[in-house]
């Protein structure tokens, strides 16, 4: 997106129109998004398409009232009409004339070698077929393979009545292999995703081959799985995979909008010990290359590193402009939105636990009996109570301090605040997990998670063993 997609004179007129009924703050968010997706299912190309959309959202804030309108018409008439609609939504106020003095444009972009939305289609199909061949060649029991690849470019221009003008160009590339293995014990699945903020050049042959083999190995290994035990057991989470649990179990409760509504178990608890002293939880949009990376958030503010819990003590929440304005404090670069048709709200970026001092192998060796979770699946949480349920899609039994029998898919059931207190060992092998998509109030945004290998002294395991 050129910085002059909407020129500065028009931006000023739009913002003045948005404020003409007496609003306190106005913002224009312009988005130009391109996407590409391809799916190979059972050696057939099922999806091979692309999309493009652009438009603008205009927000007006007057006291505690917010007016919002969006349009796909980026002409002067279209933008001014949307600005008038947003202004009308907040009602008549003081009728003051607002002078808008825009500052110098801040420009950001993801540097890439090749855009994922402009790759030759034949090359994409060739890579899908390569992954299919590698996965099927890994074991004769692989009966089904699905391979998907996708990418997006997101170009933004954000300006507001405080004088901020920012442009950004975001590029994300994603790839995944799903396998089904068949054996005497029925069918089992394996899945390996990859995603990064970056260009298509990241999808090397080596990465594609390893993802295909890993998905096939997981499915084949689970053919020998036995039902998981039930009850309260120690659980060791492998490095990278368990970050999603903390994203859901406590991350959403640390978003300032939930806190302001007192819909969070962490409301009013800053300065209190809320977790084991081994837990330091961070949200960091500045981690380049990760799925949740943001040079600027969707309100134009720089991505930041925010320590949420430090050595077990709750020290801060995540903030967008509106919640920070209400609290009289600075924002943390966590204002995010799915697209120009949506209002921004507080959302996580890359949320992870910092590494500890223990050795990952020693943590397992010091666990006489329990569950080793190599991969977590989806989950859900009640932010008001902190109660959660997560699926473990790759898990093993720990017996005598050794990882032994693979287990069938099972659930981890617990309470976020309680689980944070039960972290009793944290290794130094930190890693980020796969790409994630976080849903909240009908909006989806890309997020990253991560953590080192760690042990929870007791989690309720919902297995099927009798």
Cβ distance 237 to 199 under 8 Å? no
Nearest to 430 by CA among 349, 364, 354: 354
Tell me which residue has tokens 């409760």.
253
Q: What is the residue whose two structure tokens read 């039930």?
A: 230
Specify the pLDDT at position 43: 97
Which class is domain 8-224? alpha beta
Please list, residue by residue across 384-413, b when 16 or more beta carbons sit within 10 angstroms of its beta carbon and e when fewer do.
eebbbbbebbbbbbbeeeebeebbbbbbbe
- pLDDT at position 439, please? 92
Cβ contact 357:428 at 8 Å: yes
SS3 128: helix
Residues 6+ apart with CB under 8 A from 368: 398, 399, 400, 401
Residue 314 host element (H or E): strand 313-314
Indicate the angle between helix axes 205-221 and 121-138, nearest 10 degrees.
Answer: 40
pLDDT for 2: 44
Helix (H, G, I), strand (E, B) or coil at 388: strand
Q: Please report the pLDDT score of residue 90 as a whole number.
A: 87
Handedness of CA 6, 58, 347, 409 (dihedral sign): negative
DSSP letter, residue 286: T
- In tens digits, what is the pLDDT along the chain, a chain of 466 residues? 344 678 999 999 999 999 998 899 999 999 999 999 999 999 999 999 999 999 999 999 998 899 999 999 999 999 999 999 999 998 766 555 566 788 899 999 999 999 999 999 999 999 999 999 999 999 999 999 999 999 999 999 999 999 999 999 999 999 999 999 999 878 999 999 999 999 999 999 999 999 999 999 999 999 999 999 999 999 999 999 888 899 988 999 999 999 999 999 999 999 999 999 999 999 999 999 999 999 999 999 999 999 999 999 999 999 999 999 999 999 999 999 999 999 999 999 999 999 999 999 999 999 999 999 999 987 888 878 889 999 999 999 999 999 999 999 999 999 999 999 999 999 999 999 989 999 999 999 999 999 999 999 999 999 776 5
The three-class DSSP label of residue 377 is strand
Beta-bridge mates of residue 456: 235, 423
Which pair of tokens denotes residue 371?
A: 């569950």
CB atoms within 10 A of CB 209: 17
Ramachandran region of residue 355, left (φ > 0), alpha (ψ -120 to 50) or beta? beta
Residues of the chain with CATH 3.30.2290.10: 8-224
Q: Where are the strands (E) in 184-304, listed by range?
A: 186-197, 231-237, 281-284
Of the candidates 392, 420, 390, 395, the residue with the CA atom closest to the CA atom of residue 406:
395
Token pair recorded at residue 463 = 């297995």
203: left (phi over 0), alpha (psi -120 to 50) or beta: beta
Q: Quick check: helix, strand or coil at residue 266?
A: coil
445-to-292, 338, 345 alpha-carbon distances in Å: 8, 6, 11
Q: What's the longest Cα–Cα distance across the chain?
A: 77
Task: Please report the pLDDT score of residue 384 as a whole number.
Answer: 81
> Quick one: which of 147, 121, 122, 152 has its CA closest to 211?
147
Nearest-angstrom CA–CA distance, 453 and 359: 9
Residue 463's pLDDT is 77
Give how far Cα 53 sits from Cα of 35, 86, 148, 200, 255, Å. Answer: 9, 21, 22, 21, 29
SS3 content of the chain, % helix, strand, coil (to 5): 20, 40, 35
Global pTM?
Answer: 0.94
Position 52 scores a pLDDT of 96
Is there a contact between 105 and 167 (Cβ–Cβ < 8 Å)?
A: yes
Task: Please state, as a whole number, how many other Cβ atoms lie within 10 Å of the Cβ of residue 466.
Answer: 6
């Amino acid at each position: 997106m050129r910085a002059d997609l909407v020129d500065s004179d028009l931006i000023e007129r739009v913002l003045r129109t948005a404020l003409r009924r007496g609003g306190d703050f106005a913002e224009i968010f312009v988005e130009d998004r391109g996407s590409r997706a391809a799916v190979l299912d059972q050696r057939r190309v099922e999806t091979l398409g692309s999309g493009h959309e652009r438009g603008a959202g205009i927000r007006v804030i007057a006291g505690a009232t917010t007016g919002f309108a969006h349009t796909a018409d980026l002409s002067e008439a279209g933008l001014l009409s949307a600005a008038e609609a947003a202004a009308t939504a907040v009602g008549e106020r003081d009728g003051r004339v607002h002078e808008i003095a825009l500052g110098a444009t801040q420009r950001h972009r993801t540097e890439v070698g090749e855009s994922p939305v402009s790759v030759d289609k034949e090359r994409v199909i060739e890579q899908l077929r390569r992954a299919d061949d590698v996965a099927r060649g890994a074991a004769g029991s692989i009966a089904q393979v699905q391979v998907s690849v996708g990418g997006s470019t997101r170009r933004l221009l954000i300006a507001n009545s405080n004088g901020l003008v920012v442009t950004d160009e975001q590029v994300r590339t994603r790839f995944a292999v799903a396998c089904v293995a068949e054996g005497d014990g029925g069918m089992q699945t394996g899945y390996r995703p990859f995603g990064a903020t970056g260009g298509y050049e990241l999808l090397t042959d080596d990465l594609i081959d390893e993802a295909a083999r890993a998905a096939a190995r997981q499915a084949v290994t689970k053919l020998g799985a036995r039902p998981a035990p039930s009850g309260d057991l120690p659980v060791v989470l492998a490095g990278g995979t368990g970050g999603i649990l903390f994203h859901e179990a406590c991350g959403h409760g640390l978003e300032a909008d939930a806190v302001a509504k007192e819909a969070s178990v962490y409301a009013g608890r800053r300065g209190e010990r809320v977790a084991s002293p081994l837990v330091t939880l961070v949200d960091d949009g500045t981690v380049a290359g990760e799925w949740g990376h943001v040079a600027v958030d969707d309100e134009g503010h720089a991505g930041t590193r925010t320590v949420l819990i430090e050595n077990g003590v709750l020290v801060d929440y995540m903030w967008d402009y509106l919640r920070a304005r209400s609290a009289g404090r600075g924002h943390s670069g966590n204002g995010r939105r799915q697209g120009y048709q949506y209002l921004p709200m507080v959302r996580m970026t890359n949320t992870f636990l910092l590494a500890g001092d223990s050795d990952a192998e020693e943590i397992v060796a010091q666990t006489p009996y329990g569950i080793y979770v190599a991969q977590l699946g989806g989950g859900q949480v009640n932010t008001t109570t902190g109660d959660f349920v997560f699926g473990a899609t790759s898990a093993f039994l720990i017996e005598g301090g050794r990882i032994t029998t693979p287990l069938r898919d099972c659930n981890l059931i617990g309470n976020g605040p309680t689980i944070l207190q039960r972290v009793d060992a944290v290794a130094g092998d930190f890693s980020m997990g796969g790409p994630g998509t976080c849903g909240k109030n009908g909006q989806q945004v890309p997020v990253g998670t991560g953590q080192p290998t760690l042990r929870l002294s007791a989690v309720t395991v919902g297995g099927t063993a009798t």
